[in-house]
Chain A
Amino acid sequence: MEKRPLEGVKVIQLCWAGVGVYTTNFLSHYGATTVRVETSTYPDPVRTFEPYAPTNQPGEPVGLERSVFYSITHTAPELGMVLNLKQPESMEVFKKLVLWADVVAEGFPAGVMDKIGLDYEGLKKIKPDIIMMRSCGYGHSGAMAAQPGFGSIITAVTMMDIFTGWPDRRPLAPTTYYTDQLVPMYAALSILVALDYKRRTGKGQYIDQSQMESGLNFVTPLILDYQANKRHPALKGNRSDFAAPHGIYPGKGEDRWVAISVTSQEEWVNFKKVLNNPSWTELPEFSTLEKRIKNSDSLDRYVAEWTAGLAPEQVMGILQGAGIGAGVVSTSRDLDSDLQLNYYNFYRQIDHPYMGKLRYYHPAALKLSRAETEVKGPVLLGEHTDYVCQNFLGMSKAEIEDLRSKGVFK
């Protein structure tokens, strides 16, 4: 059988919350063997994020296995191991695991790993060619190194909360823990680059990710615009400097909306045609793109009058049929039934021992022609501790039981 892209690559995932996990998911989805190390004595806070899947029995404790956040974050194959690093014997087990691994990815606030001697220098003593990727909010040096990083805060500091809004109101944040989903691509890229480099040179290395620094790479044009023109982005609703009509227009139904963007004169001609050339489309103030952009207030009122009588799906169908960009402003319900996403089999239903059957586990937003993305349900706390100890670390059952009695596997 053909080898998987990352077959044979061994990863230790010491990551809480989002960024580190999304990072290693790229490797695990495509054939790497990933061991997630955690401890029930100090659980990953994401395991306690609400909402939870309902319990089967009234009064049954929610525990650490029902969080939607946790489950939807861990959709790549992983092996789960518990290890209480506060126990002295645990360190020996962890060292064996480092000897086994190619990559250690960790996402604690700076300093946590250093305190227990597991910074890069410490790992290198155990395994000279190890690749260590560390991710935290502001990087592992400097006065803010130990400052905790949260997705919603990192999103703000990376300039992502200044360009969405209306001219007469304060700006808004893009939805979700935005940068938590943007910076993992840079972290994953760096690990893949390090693995490629190691294959050619035999050398490991140390990778320091500041989520703020990674995030700023998405907004370089704004940083240059400020330096060149002393300009900050304007709040302009859904308007564009390059298209008109351009916006979010009401559709028939409660809180239903459709996105439309007419980007060229050719598209405008087609737009008029599919609307059956209503008289307003012939007004001189709409005759060129420049004029349409300038007169967007009145243009948008006419367009909204037209869209309001139709379902967003109808508007999308009519305009896309005429080669014009238009799409339903999708709610989660729309996403679930989206024809395109379902064509790609984007949502996978998986039966979880505590959460039941849920249809939301998904692959990376990538399709490789030669390699399937392997999608799995979330790993349970310590699900594979014995398996990992026996098969990867060569430990005997007696040895495992002895350590277990000492509180190592908690």
Chain B
Amino acid sequence: MLGCYRILDLTDEKGFLCGRALSDFGAEVIKIEKPGGDRSRLKGPFFHDSGHPEQNLTWFAFNANKKGITLDIENAEGRELFKKLVKTADVVIESFPPGYLDKLNLGYHSLSEVKPGIILASISGFGQEGPYRDFKAPDIVARAMGGLVYTTGYEDRPPLTPGYEHTYSIAAMYAAVGIMIALSHRAQTGLGQHIDASVQQACVVIASAEIEGPYALFGRVLSRHGRARGSVTLKDGTIFYNPLLWECKDGDIAFNLLINPTSVKANLALMEGLKRDGIDIKFLNNWQWDKQGWKDMSLEQAKEVVNIIGQFFKKYTKAELLEMAIKNRFQLGPCNNAADVLSHPQLAERNFWKDIYYPELETSFKYPGWAVKMSEEDCGPRFRSPRVGEHNAEIYKELNLSDARMNELKSSGII
């Protein structure tokens, strides 16, 4: 559906997802990397842990659907070639340190002189302006300063950042939305613009309701509470941190334990299950589920409830608990890993997984088949990620470069 748009993608792994998301809807995305291959190709994981830059799995994941060319934009001749490409494009995406493109005379104003109406999207840790714009912003730092680290972790240990670095991908998705807004603006006015997407701000939006709200209202600073999320007030006014994650037989599940009359049906069904399994539900035998809630419970009782229900979950696997959740409409979901989602019944029923073939590896990978389903056209991955300079011939031919000229540029390391 976006086949009429050409996007030049200068990002590294921090911004890959932006172009990938737009390519899922049909946009032509050309990934531009340094001659010899992008440095981001060296940051694993790799196929069979090979360490080979053309077997990088993050590259495979987020550069599928893109064409790939090599070009050194730090070189004067390379810059001229880049400008010629910009003339054919609608959008440029980048994730360099702020100001880098300006220094090369390839900032927004230079690009819009080359191609009026061009849209430039910049993805960075803190934004293109302001006192922190030049701060180094690795994932852990941008996430911490966006408020998402302080509130994650166990009370007796330091706060935690996820081991799977993905925070930049959130800002990259903001940039993708910004690009579509700017394309709409261009259709209205004929004018392009510069989009500034900041990881810190993206995190603060995530933090807004739960973390920012209580502070703005009551000056209450939320901290971290292990596997619990959200608190309830008990009979004596104690705050109790109600567990979200529970251990089960083969891993963990998320379960919202809602002890209030609106959840009476699910809670009674759960108690029946416990009793069937011979678990002593103790004081809960006399609990009035249709009338009583957390506010009628003592701290001792609250701890007992967690203990009783915890015993039950430990007897079942994630798959068994999922089945139970569907049947009883429990607010419960397994903490899935890749094996779980690849065999997930609902995803199978919707035919979600899409095979993408890598001929040089003689291997197909199952990719998430789409992010949304649209009736006018299939969205999602269509073809595999590019090898280094795979589409040089195709794209540079368009610029009327002769074979001889291409060889020259190749031997001088420009493409």
| Residues of A1-52 whose CB lies within 8 A of B | 2-7, 9, 18, 26, 30, 51
B43→A242 contact, CB < 8 A: yes
Q: Which stretch of B195-203, B270-278, B281-289 is in the interface? A: B195-203
Contacts of A340 in B (CB 8 A): 126-127, 130-133, 145, 200
Complex Cα gap A218–B169 (Å): 7
Contact of A366 among B47, B197, B372 (CB under 8 A): B197
Chain A minimum-CB-distance residue to B173: A185
B214→A365 contact, CB < 8 A: no
Contacts of B136 in A (CB 8 A): 261, 320, 323-326
Query: What is the CB-to-nearest-CB distance from B206 to chain A, in angstroms, rounded to a whole number?
Result: 4
B264 interface residue (CB < 8 Å to A): no
Q: Which stretch of B30-38, B68-76, B298-306, B329-337 is in the interface? A: B329-337
Would you list 29 pairs from A and B whose C-beta atoms are within 8 A, ordered by A residue?
A: A5-B182, A30-B181, A148-B329, A152-B331, A156-B336, A157-B341, A172-B227, A173-B245, A176-B209, A186-B173, A189-B173, A190-B25, A190-B374, A193-B374, A221-B60, A228-B45, A229-B48, A232-B337, A259-B140, A263-B138, A325-B141, A332-B222, A333-B219, A338-B200, A340-B126, A340-B127, A343-B129, A365-B174, A365-B197
Query: What is the CB-to-nearest-CB distance from A270 to chain B, in angstroms, rounded to a whole number?
Result: 10
Known contacts A165-B160, A216-B341, A259-B161: does B252 contact A332 (CB below 8 Å)?
no
**A interface residues, tally (CB under 8 Å):** 151
A219→B164 contact, CB < 8 A: yes
Q: Which residues of B contact A (CB under 8 A)?
A: 1-2, 4, 17, 21-22, 25, 43-49, 57-58, 60-62, 108, 126-133, 135-154, 157-166, 169-171, 173-178, 180-185, 187-189, 191, 193-198, 200-202, 204-219, 221-224, 226-227, 229, 244-245, 247, 252-254, 256, 325-326, 329, 331-339, 341-342, 345-347, 349-350, 352, 363, 365-376, 379
The 9 closest A-B pairs by CB, nearest first: A226-B338, A156-B254, A192-B180, A68-B213, A332-B215, A365-B201, A5-B185, A343-B130, A220-B61
Known contacts A161-B254, A193-B1, A330-B144: does B368 contact A364 (CB below 8 Å)?
no
A72→B130 contact, CB < 8 A: no
Counting chain B CB atoms within 10 Å of each CB, the highest count among A171, A172, A175, A190 belongs to: A175
Query: What is the CB-to-nearest-CB distance from B125 to chain A, in angstroms, rounded to a whole number?
Result: 9
Chain B minimum-CB-distance residue to A164: B162
Contacts of A182 in B (CB 8 A): 170, 173
B171→A365 contact, CB < 8 A: yes
Known contacts A150-B331, A164-B162, A371-B193: does B135 contact A223 (CB below 8 Å)?
no
Complex Cα gap A143–B350 (Å): 9
Query: What is the CB-to-nearest-CB distance from B343 to chain A, in angstroms, rounded to a whole number?
Result: 11
A221→B213 contact, CB < 8 A: no
Complex Cα gap A343–B134 (Å): 14
Contact of A172 among B131, B141, B191, B245 (CB under 8 A): B245
Contacts of B154 in A (CB 8 A): 166, 169, 172
Contact of B181 among A5, A72, A187, A237 (CB under 8 A): A5
Counting chain B CB atoms within 10 Å of each CB, the highest count among A51, A172, A181, A225 belongs to: A172
Known contacts A5-B184, A225-B57, A330-B147: does B174 contact A185 (CB below 8 Å)?
yes
Complex Cα gap A405–B183 (Å): 45
Main secondary structure of the interface of A (DSSP, over half): mixed
Contact of B196 among A54, A177, A229, A367 (CB under 8 A): A367
Query: What is the CB-to-nearest-CB distance from A376 to chain B, in angstroms, rounded to a whole number?
Result: 15
Contact of B335 among A30, A171, A195 (CB under 8 A): A171
Contacts of B177 in A (CB 8 A): 26, 185, 188-189, 192, 364, 366
A327→B207 contact, CB < 8 A: no
B158→A257 contact, CB < 8 A: yes
A306 interface residue (CB < 8 Å to B): no
